Amino acid sequence: MTEQAQLILEQCPNPGFAVDIGANDGTFLSNTIDLERLGWRVLCIEPNPYYGVDLWASRKEVVVGACGKENAPALFFAVETSNNKYAAHSSLKHKQEAMVFEVQVKTLDWYLERWGVSQLDVLCADVEGGEEDILQGFDLAKWRPKVICLESWEAGNKYGSMLPGYTLVKEVQDDRLYLRNDEI
């Protein structure tokens, strides 16, 4: 179990609903697979079609699509890596020497409404620099997740101004974990 998952479970000991954006193959460095194994409902969103088969085989609720600030098609840039097919560096941001695919981008609000979510407990996003776009397509005041885990390659509270009512409580590798202030 990742340290991130352990911290999530400390704050949310009862199964709830989580979304994992940039889910990869569903198992590699996953912060949500253990939640799902403990009875959580987890929506895994991954734009890389090469992960589709593995993701469907390992997880229960899967979307092969992208998440961003608006509903529109976009180009996805997949860069092969040695550690896990396309584990890092693949994103909606332009990359040299990448395979390019068109993907459907939807806002996180769209996905949550489409999946009939009434309460979002945990938001995890690891999208190689597109985390701010996800937050721009997300009504934080409406959904009020208890825990937000966002990737950042920069140390410190990069997303603080976009997350009013949340406090950065832990940096684990490239992830920043935020707790809703009434949960601290």
pLDDT by residue (tens digit) across 148-174?
Answer: 999 998 888 999 999 999 999 999 989
Helix (H, G, I), strand (E, B) or coil at 144: coil
Residue at 160: amino acid letter: G
* CA dihedral over 71, 72, 77, 83, signed as positive or negative: positive
Residue at 19: amino acid letter: V
Dihedral (Cα; 50, 81, 88, 174), 10-degree rounding: 150
71 or 96, greater pLDDT? 71
CA gap 45, 61 in Å, rounded: 9
- Please state the rounded mean pLDDT for residues 107-134: 95
What pLDDT, on a 0 to 100 scale, did the predictor assign at position 99?
83
What pLDDT, on a 0 to 100 scale, did the predictor assign at position 76?
87
Classify domain 3-75+105-183 at the CATH superfamily level. Answer: Vaccinia Virus protein VP39 (3.40.50.150)
The 10s digit of each residue's pLDDT in 63-95 is: 999 999 999 999 888 877 665 555 555 567 776
pTM of the full structure: 0.92
Element of type H or E holding 56: helix 52-58
Percentage, residues of the chain above pLDDT 70:
92
What pLDDT, on a 0 to 100 scale, did the predictor assign at position 132?
95
Percentage, residues of the chain above pLDDT 90:
72
CA gap 88, 22 in Å, rounded: 10
Q: Give 29's pLDDT tier (boundaries 50, 70, 90).
A: confident
Helix (H, G, I), strand (E, B) or coil at 74: strand
Angle at 95 between CA 89 and CA 96, to 5 degrees: 120
List the one residue out of 105, 110, 162 whose CA is nearest residue 136.
162
List the one residue out of 3, 44, 38, 1 whose CA is nearest residue 24.
44
Q: Give 52's pLDDT tier (boundaries 50, 70, 90).
A: confident
SS (H, E, C) 103-161: EEEEEHHHHHHHCCCCCCCEEEECCCCCHHHHHHCCCHHHHCCCEEEEECCCCCCCCHH
What pLDDT, on a 0 to 100 scale, did the predictor assign at position 89?
53
124 or 127, greater pLDDT? 124
Q: Where are the domains of the chain?
A: 3-75+105-183
Residue at 158: amino acid letter: K
- What is the separation, in whole angstroms, between the first and last Cα of the chain? 22
Q: Provide the CB-side half-sphere exposure for 48 (13 A, CA).
A: 27
What pLDDT, on a 0 to 100 scale, did the predictor assign at position 184?
67
Helix (H, G, I), strand (E, B) or coil at 52: helix
